[in-house]
């Protein structure tokens, strides 16, 4: 997705990316990325948790204007509350 975002940005279309794979995101360098420390596959929020999903999207879309450095990655302040997932982090 980062490569697509860069191509769109070159055409003048602003983009925002959400990522839960920090290391990979630093390699691809999308124009604007918000990192969320959730398991892969849950980047836009917890399943069936509409409030969490909405908050993540609002933070990412609302904060996109604040990222002025291309390739910047901003961490969102959400935490996955499953102790089994956290043990592997």
| Domain presence at residue 85 | no
Residue 87 domain flag: no
Q: Is residue 71 part of a domain?
A: yes
Number of CB atoms found within 10 A of residue 61's CB: 11
> Do the beta carbons of residue 60 and residue 34 sit within 8 Å?
yes
In a domain, 54, yes or no: yes
In a domain, 88, yes or no: no
In a domain, 67, yes or no: yes
Question: Could you report the per-residue pLDDT of 22-78, keeping only the tens digit for each?
Answer: 999 999 888 899 999 999 989 998 889 999 999 999 999 998 888 888 889 999 999
* Number of domains comprising the chain: 1
At 64 the pLDDT is 84
Question: What is the domain extent for residue 25?
Answer: 2-79
| 69 part of a folded domain | yes
């Amino acid at each position: 997705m980062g490569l697509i975002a860069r191509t769109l940005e070159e055409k003048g279309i602003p983009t925002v990316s959400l990522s839960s794979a920090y290391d990979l995101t630093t390699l691809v360098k999308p124009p604007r990325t918000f990192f969320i420390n959730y398991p892969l596959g849950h980047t836009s929020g917890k399943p069936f948790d509409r409030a969490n999903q909405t908050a993540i999207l609002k933070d990412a879309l609302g904060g996109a204007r604040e990222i002025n450095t291309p390739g910047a990655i901003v961490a969102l302040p959400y935490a996955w509350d499953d102790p089994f997932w956290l043990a592997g982090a």
